[in-house]
Every structure is written in C-alpha cells, then in structure tokens.
Amino acid sequence: MIELKRGDEMALTRDDGAPLGKLTMGLGWDKKAGAGALSGANRPDVDLDASAVQYAGDQLFDLAFFNHLETRDGSVTHLGDNISGRGEGDDEQITIDLAKVFPRVDTMLFLVSSYQGHSLEFVHNAYCRLVDEDDEEVARFTLTEGVPRTGFMMAKMFRDGDQWRLKAIGQGVAVTVPTESLDVLARFL
C-alpha cells in the first residue's frame, strides 16, 4: 500500500506489470465532536459524498454519485449514500471496472463533497483508499485536517497508452454537488 501525498502519481498495475482491472474507491470519515452544532443538542450529521466524474478530453462524459449511481457504460458504480459517516471502515464506495470504461473516456476525477455545505473542518479521520479486486489496498490518501472548503478533489485517474495512472490532487474546492460545479472540476483535467 502506498500513502499518497499531493502530486504523487502511480501506475495502476500489479507488481508484475499487469494492469489492474476492477477497483474500489472507498471513502471514510468521522464527524468531529460538536461539529455542526447549531444550538444545544442539535448537531446535524456531516454528509460527505463520493463522486466519480468521467471526461472525454475536456468534455463531461458521465458521472456516478449519490443521485446517479452508475455510468451509462456500467464501468463506474456508486454503492450507496451514507449521510452520517457513522460506523467502521468505508462509509461510501465506488467500484470501477477499467475494462468497461468507454474508449473515449480518458480521465476520471474522484471528489469528496459536503452535500449540506459543511466545511471539511467539521470532519476528522477522513480518507480515500483504492482497493484492487483481491481486496488489497493499493493506495490511500488521507484528507488533511481543517480544509476550509465544502469539497476535496482527491485524485484523478487517466489513461496512459493502454494503461491507467492515478495522480493524487489533494486540494480543497468549493463544491457541494458535482453537477452544479463542472466549471470548478474542469480545471483539474
């Protein structure tokens, strides 16, 4: 497993150089104690959402997120929305079958956003991890504490000839719902 930092890049291949095929992007987080408190015991949950946004060149091709669970080509599937971050392990997961990705798609952006508009300063223990089809963790990206934004651009996956590569971006962005922020996302292509 590789702990990624902003700007790190890696080939999505096995140790023997064979390309990885099926992957799962997992997102986990916990709400900071007292975060989001409006008054007294009224402490709303912090609802983070994982999204995968596909591009063909600089054109949006498709996306998978809490409100659109699967891309048209069936290559990317969001496995369901967790609105609280409660529980152990991954709170949300997106599966990717690289062999099914439509040939025109050359980039996929992976984003975390706060649906209710909470700043990411309200969460801790937040991470994104990439797991292969053998359930081996390939890479992990820990979200930095105290991001004063509603979104976090985690990484981008992009074609490099016949293979795919992953680049850690690690930058806070002003995004709550990906479909309403395409201009913000486009700068990461």
User: Is residue 98's pLDDT more than 80?
Assistant: yes
Amino acid at 117: G
Residue found under tokens 């709170």: 91
What values do phi and psi take at 136, rounded to 5?
-95, 130
Average pLDDT for residues 21-39, to the nearest whole number?
A: 73
Tell me: the pLDDT tens digits for 163-189? 999 999 988 888 888 878 888 888 999
Could you tell me which CATH number the domain at 2-13+20-32+45-186 has? 2.60.60.30
- Which sequence spans correspond to the domains of the chain? 2-13+20-32+45-186
The model's pTM is 0.86
**Quick one: CA torsion of 116, 109, 91, 2, rounded to 10 degrees?**
-140
How does residue 11 score in pLDDT terms, banded at 50, 70 and 90?
A: very high
Average pLDDT for residues 53-74, to the nearest whole number?
A: 93
Report pLDDT for 1.
65
What would you report as the CA-atom Rg of the chain, rounded to the nearest whole angstrom? 16
Q: What per-residue string of b and e applies to 147-174 under the rule 16 or more CB within 10 Å gives b?
A: bebbbbbbbbbbeeeeebebbbbbebbe
